Chain A
Amino acid sequence: MKRTSRGAGPIALALSTAALVVVAGCTTSGGGDTTTTSSSTSGSASGTTSDSSGSGGGSADTTITYAAEQDFYAYNTFTVDGNATANQTVLNQVLRGFSYVDNEGAVQMDTEFGTIEKTSDDPLTVQYTFADDARWSDGEPIGCADFLLTWAAGSGYYNKDGSANTGGRTAESENLFDSASTTGLDQTEKPTCADGDKTVTLTYKVPYVDWNVAIGTSAGGSFMPAHVAAEQAGTDTAGLVAAFESDDAAVLTPVAEFWNTGWSLNPDQGLPDASLIPSSGPFLISAWDPGQSITLTANPEWWGTPPASNTVVMRFIDQSQQVSALQSGEVDVIEPQANPDSLAALDALGAAVDVQTGPLFTYEHLDLNVNTGMANEQLREAFFNCVPRQQIVDNLIKPSQPDAEVLQSLMLQPTQPGYDELAAGAGFENYNEVDLDAARAAFAASGAAQGTTVRIIHIDPNPRRTNQVALIKASCDQVGFNIQDTPLASDAFGAARASGDYDVALFAWAGSGLYGSISAQYASAGAGGEQNTAGWSDPAVDAAFAAVNSSTDTSGVVDQLLIVDKALADNFWSIPLFAFPGLVASNADVSGVQLNAGQTQATWNMQEWARN
């Protein structure tokens, strides 16, 4: 249980982030934007162990085995199909980039890969410089062509017919490249560079807060080997660069076709030829046994700090079976579901295993709908006062994560820098404990009839949510509410939430550590709050989000987010409950394993794993 530090890193880096990804208890939309690496500039307590070793020392000839939940299926995680945690887990240290989000949610620069430098604020201009000896594992240098390929995919600049889209943004389904997202890069000018260039400059048309993770981050916009795509399309990198320059549809169409589908894996045929899947990181994929395991071995061409162990095997094991696999010695690192039993079973193994628990970026909360049953402010106040937040954490979370605390912010997560400031100022902590008197007073003031029905919708089946509603009901029914547990199948929940057909919604948002689109959840519906179906509207909140989204410097972001958090608490709109508990355990003779609060799993720093 070693995660104690938070907020030690430079605030400038820390604040730059957080694109919230909703999830309603599901992992398929994973991905987010992140990557990895050792070379951290951060002073955060975690994650810099391999810096000291510097380059030079080779990898130890050891094998570390990791238990992954899902099989690998695509080498390109920037496509719509490939954008998933399952693939990112494998590729964290295979495809590196300029920056990544570390395990606590702070953006870190990957200086081994190259450097990013903001050269102007207006217009926002960013210069990318690849490391001199940056090269693919087949020896091909990494540079201009790779940058252009990822930019072309991530900007939506090319239409399906191959024509250049110089005007506004078109629907993503009309793009030539099936990229998972075009946010950010769609607001940039087409960069120019010559084949072999190591420096590229990107100019934004409008300011973009997450510019330092817009391109060249392993999840979302990682650099793919352009020379492979070019060769598959019958040309070379020079031809490809020229084709981007002249928007040559005849060349770009086959390149995009390969980019879209050529890196998808078919379990029937096994791993593609090694020349198709070169690595730009410390590891390369050396073997794949579909449904069973994938093997990563040290990349001999890697120019940075060599990985501590030269082989990492990932075995695909159901979460419920990972503890016994660790116990039997068949795997060294596991990420089982954090529940009281897996924790207790691991603790029972004593000194043989290291266990880490901590909060994840995914957080549970209650949204109160001001358009329906929760229109009355006093009624909402009464509800705030009767939700047993501390009891929920004590009963349901602490058995899985002994140091769990009630979540005090809807903007940032406990591990993220700036969280403490929000937690202290937002005012949610006034509602940690149930205050029945205050609740009854507010309930009486609202004029609501005794037994006022409040429907809490949540996705079913999910025992923990059922239990939360049971606890809320036990408490709030004493005040005069009649809490009605309304479990819905996932699509019915989605429909009910989208149409605003609920009084209170109990669900989770999954953060990726980037700020990107918090505004979508909490801004007014007219000001970019596409996911705000509870009818909240406050000009101050909208102004704060406008300031966040257009800043090119993240130092003032926390102050703006505090305005939002405070508004949510003062208006009794939404109640944060807890961050999901996370759990990672490793064989005691393996060092360097760290819990990752984000979506990229413990493999985010697998190059540091070593066997003692």
Chain B
Amino acid sequence: MATFILRRLVVSFFVLLAATFVVYVLVANAGDPRTALLESTDPSRDAKIAALTENLDLDTPVVPRYFGWLGGVAQCFVGQCDLGTNINGAPVTGLLSVALGSTLRLVLFATVMAILFGVIVGIVTALRQYSGLDYSTTFLAFLFFSLPAFWIAVLLKQFLAIKFNSWLSDPVIPLWLTIVLAALGGLLAMALIGGDRRQRMISLVGGAAVVAAVCVYLDVSKWFAQPGIGPVVMIVGSLAAAVGATALLSGFRYRRVLIATLITAVVGIICSFSLGWLLDISTAGTIIILAIVTLAVSGAIGALVGGVLRSQAVKACMITGFLSGALIFADRLLQAVTGYSDKVRGILIATIGSNTPNFSGDFWETTLDQLGHLLLPSIVIVLISFATYTRYTRSSMLETMNQDYVRTARAKGLTERTVVVRHAFRNAMIPVTTLMAIDFGAVIGGAVITETVFGWQGMGRLFTDALRIPDPNPVMGFFLVTGTAVVVFNMIVDILYGVLDPRIRTA
């Protein structure tokens, strides 16, 4: 294995080297960065042309110029990167680090969300193959995949941001919206729960009724003017998390797991009523500490109470703890909305930029500010890349569900939960995992259109802006980072294959 990895490393290095050369030559042939100046009659023309020629070394033929650039890159190994300057004379390293930071914040978050949603929806549709839900998610996934990104962006800006923000100043839920939402909720419930005709009708009506009730409650209680989760939802939510985690991980046959998660939920509820003062003075650091403490305490409860199924109890308790912690966090965050809204003149959901300029507020308000700016671009990215994950997960899941070992597991009399979670799911995730690895390699490249439309100065924008001029050094800087990421992640995929599936010979 070691020699295999080593060989892959060496090969990858040379692949990257060859690719940089090709790209360098291509970019050099894409046009002359002095073009605009050649036509200028501005008095500064000659000086600018001379300066640019010198800065970018344009009088040198392409091949030696490439090696000059490579020399600068080689200095990275001694911590002195020199990737040249752009046509304005700004060092590329600085531009890259700003762009990379911006892209990672934007695309990473969105990709994680897309994976999460995609995998969950993929599994559900695989378990309900050829159902109405399956068809409609397939249709929606392809539809979102086919929509141009800026199209979705424009729609979101118009309706989710501008209209929503102005609606918030007088939050009345109109009747037609309640009806539409209720109908959608009913249909979703019906599709998810399934069953025979009678059961489906019950689900439909029940789902619609619940959604309608929630809408009416939110409207009557003026919830949107003073948002928060409230003690009832907090208690119900935490207990539901406990039951859900138990159902997913161990089932109810062995009571101690359920008892453990319920204890965790109760502890969470008590904390939510007693620790408000702590949250008021929180910073990002204390929140992380609280999260760790929460997980540790939940784990401990699971370990103490879990009995025979200790390891499952620990996991279930940690999930319960995490979820009820998340509820507490969300509640506190929502309570900060009113104050935040006043500070930003009611623009809760931003349409542009990565933060409100010069915004100052406590931890909760700055978090809201970040989230408000992340929301729309993340939705765009999630909607578009969600299709890939759903489809992959679905077909991978279907494939494993038809494997002999799954049939064997069923034949043994294992519950459907055990079959799905323990036998099928894990194996189905092997190809999806490699897809994720490749995807993360591509994440670094940023999302050109989303970044432009939402005003994020990310990698994609850096690259396309430079390529249009064409400004060689930023393009090369971009390529160096993204090319490395692609090569590295491809390599990881190849290695992963060898590790995950021993049948695949490592060629």
Contacts and interface: CB of A to CB of B under 8 A. Distances in A.
B31 A491 contact: yes
B100 to A, nearest CB: 11
A324 B165 CA distance: 13
A266 B94 contact: yes
A580 interface: no
A531 interface: yes
Contact of A181 (B32, B36, B42, B89): B42
A491 B35 contact: yes
B507 to A, nearest CB: 42
A391 to B, nearest CB: 28
Contacts of B428: none
A23 B44 CA distance: 13
A313 B94 CA distance: 23
A181 B43 contact: yes
B161 A328 contact: yes
A81 B89 contact: yes
Contacts of B32: 491
B41 A517 contact: yes
B326 interface: no
A317 B157 CA distance: 14
Contact of B457 (A24, A32, A291, A295): A291
Nearest to A179: B47
Contacts of A329: 165, 345-347
Given A264-B90, A324-B157, A494 B31 contact: no
Contacts of A73: 88, 90
Nearest to B89: A81
Interface string A150-178: 00000000000000000000011101001
A491 B29 CA distance: 12
A220 to B, nearest CB: 8
Interface in B1-57: 31-32, 35-48, 50-51, 54
A324 B47 contact: no
A290 interface: yes
Contacts of A438: none
B35 A490 contact: yes
A515 to B, nearest CB: 12
B38 A498 contact: yes
Nearest to B50: A173
Interface stretch (B288-296, B351-359, B475-483): B351-359
B201 interface: no
A324 B158 CA distance: 8
A183 B45 CA distance: 11
Given A330-B353, A521-B41, A318 B455 contact: yes
A80 B51 contact: yes
Interface in A66-116: 71, 73-74, 80-84
Interface in A243-274: 261, 264-269
A325 B161 CA distance: 10
A486 interface: no
B282 interface: no
Nearest to A265: B90
B358 A287 contact: yes
Contacts of A266: 90-91, 94
B347 A520 contact: no
B347 A328 contact: yes
Contacts of B95: 267-268
Given A316-B455, A318-B452, A490-B31, A183 B90 contact: no
A268 B94 CA distance: 4
Interface of B: 31-32, 35-48, 50-51, 54, 87-91, 93-95, 97-99, 102, 154, 157-158, 161-162, 165, 345-347, 350-355, 357-358, 452-457, 469
Interface of A: 19-24, 26, 28-29, 31-32, 65, 71, 73-74, 80-84, 171-173, 175, 178-183, 261, 264-269, 287, 289-293, 295, 313, 315-318, 320-321, 324-325, 327-331, 489-491, 493-495, 497-498, 509, 516-517, 520-521, 530-531
24 contacts: A20-B41, A28-B469, A29-B42, A65-B357, A80-B51, A172-B46, A173-B47, A179-B47, A180-B43, A264-B89, A267-B97, A293-B357, A317-B352, A318-B452, A321-B455, A324-B351, A325-B352, A328-B161, A328-B162, A328-B350, A328-B351, A329-B165, A491-B38, A494-B39
Given A28-B36, A180-B48, A287-B357, 8 more contacts: A20-B41, A173-B50, A266-B90, A290-B457, A292-B357, A293-B357, A328-B347, A490-B36
